[in-house]
Structure 1
Amino acid sequence: MTVLALEPQPLAFRVRPQADECFDSWIDRVAAAHETTRPALFRHLGLEAAIASLDLARGTCGLSNEQYFAVYQVIGQLAWAVEIEVQQIEGTFLNVEASVVLPRRQRRYVCPLCWQQALRDGRAPIIRKEWILRMSWRCQVHALPLCALPVADGAMSEQAVGSWLSGAVARAESLRWKLGAHPRLVEWNAEGVDTLVRASRKRFKGEKKAYVDRFQANLFHFAHDRIAMLALAHSRVGKATWGFERLVALELPGRPGREVMTLQPPKLPPRRWRISKGSLRPGSHDAGVLDLVLAYAHLRVRRDA
């Protein structure tokens, strides 16, 4: 009996990328719609399963010639499978350096208000390209700090997602209330993020350049609460994060030396602001991490005053 090899067929569900959606968010939605995994999806389309393990958030940026042609084939095959133009898939990529993108396992920060609105409108919630950048920590639409999606085995139920979103909104609002962001830093952050998303060659000068150089490839993802630390860094007590930034930037020896234990923030010009008097309203952050950070910030400022 002769066995005929089956030709790859277009996918049953035409899951198309949404505006400003990152590649991982889209391809994961494609796989979830067909109740399969990314490697299995690639095999079904006649593609090498090994390609599924590549980090494609930046498309073909930084790939070898051999990988470039393999990924270009993947893009074309995926476009055919869901019946869209190649350019629509290319629009999910970030044309940036690898150092400005979060590690793969940490690309799970979202705006809970954006997700709630998407679910109300009957749209699939997505992860936007700007949210996987290291310097991104707040939603540009709702001015709300981002929240990390919970790590779960398999897809979360609609009820579980709704419950998580309600709590995430409350936590994000509490963080925004406790650490009022400095307007100028927020403006610079939005401009820096937009420049990266659009792959603009715009050059910054002066203090704005120093800000972008500091945050574009920051290492706050090493912190227990990345968003809280970034919110603190953009507040009026942001100087308190310098010790952490210098610590994670060090190439530590096998055993930390004395200098690691005596990190000091750089000398800054005299401040033109004051810490307001009054108490902070208690929040609902896990294990009081934010309260500890706030206490450290105020003690640092008072000590240096």
Structure 2
Amino acid sequence: MTVLALEPQPLAFRVRPQADECFDSWIDRVAAAHETTRPALFRHLGLEAAIASLDLARGTCGLSNEQYFAVYQVIGQLAWAVEIEVQQIEGTFLNVEASVVLPRRQRRYVCPLCWQQALRDGRAPIIRKEWILRMSWRCQVHALPLCALPVADGAMSEQAVGSWLSGAVARAESLRWKLGAHPRLVEWNAEGVDTLVRASRKRFKGEKKAYVDRFQANLFHFAHDRIAMLALAHSRVGKATWGFERLVALELPGRPGREVMTLQPPKLPPRRWRISKGSLRPGSHDAGVLDLVLAYAHLRVRRDAQTQVEAQFGRFPS
């Protein structure tokens, strides 16, 4: 018996990308409309399911030649499946460096007021391209801090979405009221985000350049509340976040020494002397996070040992 392979068919629901919608938001809406997953959707269209694991938020930017042609085939097949032009799908991509885009699992920040308005107008709520940038933390339309969508198994019901949006608006308004943003920093942020979205080659100078260099590829997504940290950094007490920024920017050694296992403090290099007058000033050693942890652990071991000795033999007079 001969089994004939079925030819791929266009999708039943023509879910088209909206203006300024990012690729992940659109492809997830396509999969949700057909009650399936992204890999299963790709298999249905005759595409390799492994391509679904690629980060396509930036389109073909930064891909190898093999990946470039594979992704270009995906774009053409998706455009055929929903009966739109290829340019409409390419409009969902960001032509930026990977360092300025949030990690894939972190791209769930939205403006609750934008979502409420979309639901009232009968439109599907989306995630805009600017909201997946690391330096984006407020809605440019409503001047409201963004909120992270709740992580839920499966699609949320309309009632659950409405309830969450009401609470999200209240929390965002409270954050905006507590941490008044500095007008100049807000203006620079909007200009920097717009430059990235439009892939402009505009160059900044002076303090504005220093601001863009600081926030364009920031690491605030490592914080417990990314939006609150960014709001604090853009307030008049923004220096309060400098300690966190320095901490997450520290580089740990690629190959820790044996001291990691023995909890011994790191050995200092031999002291340098010179034959002429005096001695050289001791070199400055930049302590990394691992050095601090090892030093603390070594002192803790010594203190615990001393406490145990005192408990057994009593405290010796100094």
1:3 Cα deviation after fit: 1.9
The answer to whether the Cα contact below 8 Å between 1:109 and 1:147 also exists between their aligned partners in 2 is yes
Cα displacement string for residues 72-109 of structure 1 (whole angstroms, at most 9, x for unaligned residues)? 00000000000000000000000000000000000000
Change (3 A) 1:289 1:139: farther
Change (3 A) 1:261 1:140: farther
Measure, in 2, the Cα distance between the counterparts of 1:134 and 1:56: 17
1:248 Cα deviation after fit: 0.3
Cα displacement string for residues 248-287 of structure 1 (whole angstroms, at most 9, x for unaligned residues)? 0001359999999999999999999999999999999999
**Greater shift after overlay, 72-81 or 268-277?**
268-277
**1:231 counterpart residue number:** 231
Change (3 A) 1:173 1:25: same
Measure, in 1, the Cα distance between the counterparts of 2:242 and 2:31: 42
The answer to whether the Cα contact below 8 Å between 1:94 and 1:129 also exists between their aligned partners in 2 is yes
SS in structure 2 of the partner of residue 287 of structure 1:
coil
**Greater shift after overlay, 250-259 or 288-297?**
288-297
SS in structure 1 of the partner of residue 288 of structure 2:
helix
Pairwise CA RMSD: 12.2
Change (3 A) 1:268 1:165: farther
**Greater shift after overlay, 3-12 or 109-118?**
3-12
Change (3 A) 1:262 1:94: farther
Change (3 A) 1:248 1:54: same
Residue ranges of structure 1 left out of the alignment (5+ in a row): none
Bigger CA radius of gyration: 2
The answer to whether the Cα contact below 8 Å between 1:96 and 1:196 also exists between their aligned partners in 2 is yes
Change (3 A) 1:263 1:288: closer
Q: Looking at both structures, which has the greater relative contact order when contacts are Cα pairs under 8 Å and sequence separation is at least 6?
A: 1
**Greater shift after overlay, 246-255 or 209-218?**
246-255
The answer to whether the Cα contact below 8 Å between 2:51 and 2:71 also exists between their aligned partners in 1 is yes
1:5 Cα deviation after fit: 1.3
Change (3 A) 1:255 1:9: closer
**Matches of residues 279-290 of structure 1 in structure 2 within 5 Å?**
none
Change (3 A) 1:292 1:263: closer
Cα displacement string for residues 174-227 of structure 1 (whole angstroms, at most 9, x for unaligned residues)? 000000000000000000000000000000000000000000000000000000
1:139 Cα deviation after fit: 0.1
**1:8 counterpart residue number:** 8
Provide TM-score, normalisation by structure 2. 0.80
Residue ranges of structure 2 left out of the alignment (5+ in a row): 305-317
Identity of aligned residues (%): 100
The answer to whether the Cα contact below 8 Å between 2:24 and 2:56 also exists between their aligned partners in 1 is yes
Change (3 A) 1:232 1:289: farther
The answer to whether the Cα contact below 8 Å between 2:102 and 2:134 also exists between their aligned partners in 1 is yes
SS in structure 1 of the partner of residue 287 of structure 2:
helix
Change (3 A) 1:45 1:209: same
Aligned residues: 305
1:295 Cα deviation after fit: 29
The answer to whether the Cα contact below 8 Å between 1:229 and 1:241 also exists between their aligned partners in 2 is yes
The answer to whether the Cα contact below 8 Å between 1:228 and 1:290 also exists between their aligned partners in 2 is no
The answer to whether the Cα contact below 8 Å between 2:263 and 2:297 also exists between their aligned partners in 1 is no
The answer to whether the Cα contact below 8 Å between 1:20 and 1:129 also exists between their aligned partners in 2 is yes
SS in structure 1 of the partner of residue 181 of structure 2:
coil
**Greater shift after overlay, 286-295 or 171-180?**
286-295
Change (3 A) 1:200 1:298: farther
The answer to whether the Cα contact below 8 Å between 2:272 and 2:280 also exists between their aligned partners in 1 is no
Change (3 A) 1:159 1:300: farther
Measure, in 2, the Cα distance between the counterparts of 1:139 and 1:154: 26
1:303 Cα deviation after fit: 31
**Greater shift after overlay, 32-41 or 254-263?**
254-263
The answer to whether the Cα contact below 8 Å between 2:251 and 2:288 also exists between their aligned partners in 1 is no
**Matches of residues 176-191 of structure 1 in structure 2 within 5 Å?**
176-191=176-191
Measure, in 1, the Cα distance between the counterparts of 2:150 and 2:28: 16
Change (3 A) 1:282 1:275: same
1:4 Cα deviation after fit: 1.6
Measure, in 1, the Cα distance between the counterparts of 2:175 and 2:274: 20
The answer to whether the Cα contact below 8 Å between 2:130 and 2:136 also exists between their aligned partners in 1 is yes
Change (3 A) 1:188 1:295: farther
The answer to whether the Cα contact below 8 Å between 1:247 and 1:263 also exists between their aligned partners in 2 is no
**Greater shift after overlay, 16-25 or 272-281?**
272-281
Change (3 A) 1:204 1:284: closer
Change (3 A) 1:160 1:290: farther
Measure, in 1, the Cα distance between the counterparts of 2:159 and 2:81: 31
